[in-house]
Amino acid sequence: MQNLERMRELIQTIKEADEAYYKYDAPIMADLDYDRLYDELAALERETGTILSSSPTQRVSGEVLESLTAVRHSRPMLSADKCKSVADIHKYLGGHEAVLSWKLDGLTLVLRYENGKLVQAITRGDGLQGEDVTHTVRIMKNVPLVIPCKEPLEVRGEGVISWKEFHALNGTLDEPYAHPRNLAAGSVRKLNAEEVRERGLSFMAFDLISDNLGGSTKWETLRFLAQMGFTTVGYSILAAGASEEAVRQAMDFYQPKEYAYPTDGLIFEFNDLAYGRSLGATGHHENRMTAFKWPDTRYETKFRRLEVATTRTGMISLTAAFDDVVIDGTTVNHAYLHNLDNFTRLALGPGDTISVYKANMIIPQIAENKTKSGGCPLPDVCPCCGSTLVVRQSSGGTRQLYCENEACPARLVRKFVHFCSKTRMEIKGLDEQTLTTFVQHGWVKNYGDLYELERHKEEILKTPGFGEKSFARLQNAVDERRTCTLNQFIAALGIPEVGRHAGRILNRKFGGSWDAFERAILDQFDFTQLEDFGQVMNDNIYCWYSDEEEAKLWRPALNHITFLKEETTMPEAQNNPFAGKTVVATGKLENYTRDGIQMKLLSLGARPASSVSKKTDYLIVGENAGSKLTKAQTLGVTTLTEQQFLQMLADAGIEA
Ligand SMILES: NC(=O)c1ccc[n+]([C@@H]2O[C@H](COP(=O)([O-])OP(=O)(O)OC[C@H]3O[C@@H](n4cnc5c(N)ncnc54)[C@H](O)[C@@H]3O)[C@@H](O)[C@H]2O)c1
Ligand SMILES: [Zn+2]
């Protein structure tokens, strides 16, 4: 009776974890704990001989989002059974030849091809039905849209994001993900494919569903997939009759820390496909393969305190700080807690004994709190602005603390990011992460503060990732921007609709002088007189200028900046072959950036344009030039290589 009760409880908990994991891509527990609950349930089922109908051991867990179209699989997509030790694997193989491969930790996908064309891509879903994700799979860079095989073909594989891409991308997202797997799953299941184009998703093929196409062995199948143009998962062959030691050696070859993609173990599959099929399947897994999961070693330490910070979206991030532990050679003392539910579950209090591990050997996590004193209070006000915090259910289905103050400095980060970005003020090294830290600590409150970082040098040097050298580099980058052009500065201000192009026009009109620009505003100048300026832009300038809160942000910067006037005063503006001409540049140039060539053309008194038309006088052609070159050739526009352009400048006595 007691057992049955516990089984029901386990099924319920696993169900909740499944929903968070598969539906919202936001796990509420560590894989380790999930697997433990699962094992406990399986053991009870064996012991009691009873299996409840809703048991996750009898079917594949998964969810189909209502927003995506459900598609039935041509064959059930099952999970893999697990072995816990090398001895278990050795026993499972029973002396048969096998293929060993990385168990990729992403989102399983099935791609269907007909007449050599990709026609559909589906997620695993609940194993019987998946979600149609053709739109996002199409834009993965390594998915072949056409293959040299006319017969219907179905290939299975994993949609993954590399650790590198994950680290670069996660910080820029409104709601960061706990793991690349969740980011991959969340990205593939987006409705709008354009949003995920830059996310570096890859498809790694590991299985061919159409019989008889790839040969009679797993090895031949993987080779066939590679010939079709797929990137296959990394694999090796384990010879027939391999000893336990030989199995161990083959496994040692796979070191997850050295692998670019997230992986949580290895997959062993019988090389002889007919033999594998003869072993059959359960409702949960196929017997032709088994998985080995790397054990996460746990380390005991003491929890010290909770660290809170307001993120760009107003969400309060919770991080546990604990005494140093060395895991796999690196010192670890912080673990991100993900959400309020996780925090509540752990019931942390200062001095508590906790066990920590690196999930997939990479991300530090708290596995459990052994003493659960619960003495650590949650903040009730924003650490950044002091507003009362509220609890919100995030789109991930979990609870988070939020600061709802629109004027909270955390939201300033966005403006700072814009101001410092490459195509605006271009202050190198002031990326989003750094700016977030600076804003959260109150070291920068307005753009002028960026020029006075020296005042906080000591504190900055204490933040992780900063040393004397990187601080000096940052200061150099800031110093370089004590001079800038008026157009750069205007574009950096973030006046709605008034961007880089408008900045250039204003720069020309006001001779590069801020004072002249400001005087014009005070004199109620009608900006619609300017080329390409509409009423909205005119109104936005006045609206922005009269916003006192905005002015507190930008005005202090004027004390630190000298405006360069080179562009309009340069003598070369008249005496050169490009003065007054409409010039387009295309492709990658060797000596100029995209902005650089525009600036150069302006300084020559030319009109830089972005598209080729009959009015274009010259097209400067760089590497990999595309349709613009074709169009120029059709219209008979003079094209110049970068070298010819430089030569013409030299002939006119002008420096490049
Ligand atoms: N943390 C949580 O709350 C939570 C919730 C649900 C599931 N989980 C995790 O997910 C696991 C269950 O997920 P699952 O059903 O995908 O099983 P699994 O993790 O055992 O993986 C099996 C799957 O791996 C894929 N795979 C990857 N590389 C492969 C390769 N080289 N060859 C063949 N197949 C390969 C296949 O699609 C296969 O179906 C649990 O053990 C748990 O760790 C965690
Ligand atoms: Zn706040």
Taking the C-alpha atoms of residue 12 and residue 485, their distance in angstroms, rounded to an integer, is 63
Taking the C-alpha atoms of residue 473 and residue 470, their distance in angstroms, rounded to an integer, is 5
Strand order from edge to edge, sheet including 638-641:
607-609, 582-586, 618-621, 638-641
Any idea which ligand is nearest the CA of 413? 2
Place of tokens 């041509």: 74
Beta strands, E only, 467-526: 483-485
C-beta atoms surrounding 44 within 10 Å: 18
Question: What is the 411 CA–ligand 2 centroid distance (Å)?
Answer: 8
Taking the C-alpha atoms of residue 564 and residue 591, their distance in angstroms, rounded to an integer, is 21
β 285-293/79-83 pair status? parallel
- What the chain holds in terms of domains, given with CATH numbers, is 1-48 (1.10.287.610), 69-292 (3.30.470.30), 299-403 (2.40.50.140), 409-481 (1.10.150.20), 486-563 (1.10.150.20), 582-652 (3.40.50.10190)
Taking the C-alpha atoms of residue 146 and residue 111, their distance in angstroms, rounded to an integer, is 12
Taking the C-alpha atoms of residue 260 and residue 162, their distance in angstroms, rounded to an integer, is 6
Confidence at residue 454, expressed as pLDDT on a 0 to 100 scale:
92
Long-range Cβ contact pairs of 165-174 (< 8 A, separation 24 or more): 165/199, 165/200, 166/262, 169/198, 169/199, 169/200, 171/432, 171/433, 172/432, 174/312, 174/313
User: Encoding tokens for residue 622?
Assistant: 């760089």
Confidence at residue 651, expressed as pLDDT on a 0 to 100 scale:
83
- Bridge partner residues of 583 (DSSP): 608, 618
Taking the C-alpha atoms of residue 579 and residue 30, their distance in angstroms, rounded to an integer, is 65
Confidence at residue 521, expressed as pLDDT on a 0 to 100 scale:
94
User: H/E element holding 359?
Assistant: strand 353-359
Residue 95 is given by DSSP the state T
Any idea which ligand is nearest the CA of 316? 2
Q: Is 103 annotated as catalytic?
A: yes
Residues 6+ apart with CB under 8 A from 126: 59, 60, 61, 62, 63, 64
200 contacts 172 by C-beta, under 8 angstroms: no
User: Encoding tokens for residue 4?
Assistant: 């049955």
| DSSP SS3 for 179 | coil
The reply, when asked if residue 449 is annotated as ligand binding, is no
pTM: 0.60
Beta strands, E only, 443-576: 483-485, 562-564
383 contacts 362 by C-beta, under 8 angstroms: no
Taking the C-alpha atoms of residue 372 and residue 350, their distance in angstroms, rounded to an integer, is 10
Taking the C-alpha atoms of residue 184 and residue 203, their distance in angstroms, rounded to an integer, is 10
163 contacts 221 by C-beta, under 8 angstroms: no
Ligand 1: list residues with CB < 6 Å.
17-18, 21, 27-31, 34-35, 61, 79-80, 101-104, 108, 158, 206-207, 233, 267, 291
The reply, when asked if residue 124 is annotated as ligand binding, is yes
The reply, when asked if residue 403 is annotated as ligand binding, is yes
Q: Of residues 23, 91, 103, 190, which has the active-site annotation?
A: 103
Q: Which of 237, 267, 292, 398 to mutate to test the pocket of ligand 1 (most atoms within 8 A of CB)?
A: 267
Question: What is the 439 CA–ligand 2 centroid distance (Å)?
Answer: 11
Q: Which of 13, 33, 59, 108 to mutate to test the pocket of ligand 1 (most atoms within 8 A of CB)?
A: 108
Beta strands, E only, 244-298: 263-270, 285-293
- Bridge partner residues of 237 (DSSP): 99
**Following CA atoms 430, 453, 463, 421 in sequence, which dihedral angle do they give, to the nearest 10 degrees?**
-10
Burial class of 393 by CB neighbour count within 10 A (0 to 12, 13 to 18, 19+)? exposed
Angstrom CA distances, 596 to 410, 580, 601, 639, 651, stand at 33, 19, 9, 19, 21
* ∠ CA 150-201-173, rounded to 5°: 150
Angstrom CA distances, 146 to 29, 138, 153, stand at 40, 11, 12
Confidence at residue 256, expressed as pLDDT on a 0 to 100 scale:
85
Confidence at residue 161, expressed as pLDDT on a 0 to 100 scale:
93
425 contacts 419 by C-beta, under 8 angstroms: yes
59 contacts 38 by C-beta, under 8 angstroms: no
* Binned average pLDDT, 10 residues per bin, the chain of 656 residues: 87 88 79 87 92 86 81 90 93 97 95 94 93 91 90 95 85 71 88 76 93 88 94 94 95 88 94 94 92 86 92 82 86 88 92 87 83 92 91 77 84 85 88 87 91 92 85 91 92 87 89 92 91 85 90 93 67 74 88 80 80 87 84 85 88 78
Question: What is the 241 CA–ligand 2 centroid distance (Å)?
Answer: 64
Longest alpha-carbon distance in the chain: 96
